[in-house]
Chains A and B, each alone.
Chain A
Amino acid sequence: MNKLTSIFLLILAVFVSCDTDNDDTISNAKMAFNFSHTWDGTPVTNSDFNDLKFTNANGETLSIERLRYLISDITFTSLNGETLKVNGYNLVDVTNNEDLTFEPITFIPAGTYTNVSFIFGFKNEDNIHNAYQDLNSISWSVPTMLGGGYHYMQLDGKFVNSSNTEQGYNFHAIRAVDNPGNRPTFPQNTFITVNLGSVNISGNSTFNIEMNIAEWFKNPNRWDLNQLNQGLMPNSMAQIMMFENGQNVFNLISIE
């Protein structure tokens, strides 16, 4: 019996080795997506957290205590318009300095691509309530009364309010929702498609992508934390403003 198993393993080993040998002839490249963060150009890491050291466009002093966000659906568009999707999603956890780099298992054939894009958050069809165990386990879900699915981003901290006291803010981005309850409605999409532009892939590549956190509070909506600080998830107007301000928070810095 044991010998039979060994022979089976032998055959299996030969089979697997043939398989990988063939693969070598196609020049597939491994991709990495590395996320860094700034406040209008000044680098931000978790060591800058818990300190009222930032000032937003509206002039409020604020701190960051937690920042994590989801990116998904990385897509390469080739010259003939075909799209190649990278499997999986990644939760960038700045608070714990974890998963700042996403290394998907999908390989990309070398060549020129007219665009590389990713989704900030989940597209609606991927935003399926309870579908992802790893995200459930870290309490990333959105209540079903708000349509379920998952957060796109949690940015939490304190700001100094107009009566000069520290106050918490929860800048949580989700799919904009109205009529919370059994039959919520969705006024518009608020996941963000981030286009990185055309690229030429000749080998394994790392995309260095930067999020300017200050941009969330700036343009086109100058964010007033005194008005909008907590309870923003059930506030579709606030969600749409985040969506608008989020259009330019990500920039491709370099490809290595």
Chain B
Amino acid sequence: MIAQEKKPIEEILGYLEGKKKVVVMGCGGCATFYHTGDTKAVNAMAETLTKEGKDVFKMPLPFSIQACDIEKSGVWLEKNRKELENRDAVLVLSCGDGVQVVTEYMDEKMEITKAVIPGNDALGLVGGGPKKFKETCQSCGMCELGKTAGICPLTSCGKGLMNGPCGGVREGDKCEIDEEKDCAWVKIYKRMEKLGEVEKFEQMLDPHEWSKMKRPRLFEIEEPIGMDVIGAMKGMMTVKFGPKPKLDE
């Protein structure tokens, strides 16, 4: 998931200066998870902006409809074409990806060019939960986990060293840069020790190949996932969260 937090309202109001009629668009994906773009967040933002004298049109997206998944979120944009045409700005409560996908779709597919404003700050790919999350992968395009006992040296080490630890490990095996965090390289050592492969630790790892990080990266898949799959997913969820089936049935 893409972790995110809300931008300070002062910053958003700055971008909206001179723009009276505003669409507030939500996101049913990660932004719903982090309460930065769910229906509640859309309502709260609409309320704040109304108090600030804006004329607001709310456009929340249902759960599982992600702003960045434009084939689906585009349906909501098309449905509200009239509103979008008449507005001064669209405030998107998603990560920066959602914001830009919406911008491009409106520009190129709908031929509606409006100021599109980010409501959140994206903080990276994270895992964990339900309350605490951790960034462990930066999607570098050339995974090294097979060499480092399953701990990413590029992301979990504060310096992203392929050969650590650096000389700065703190008391309690904490990172030089931030004593709240564990030193990734000591963790790698300890896991290798448990896996009985500590001799690997003395071998140099080659410098990481960054060529797959040539930005922006473009990507294509053979079989796109369509609306029918989303429908099926919803069916699955009812089963999962519904009453437990009796074992003897």
Indicate, yes or no, whether A interacts with B: no
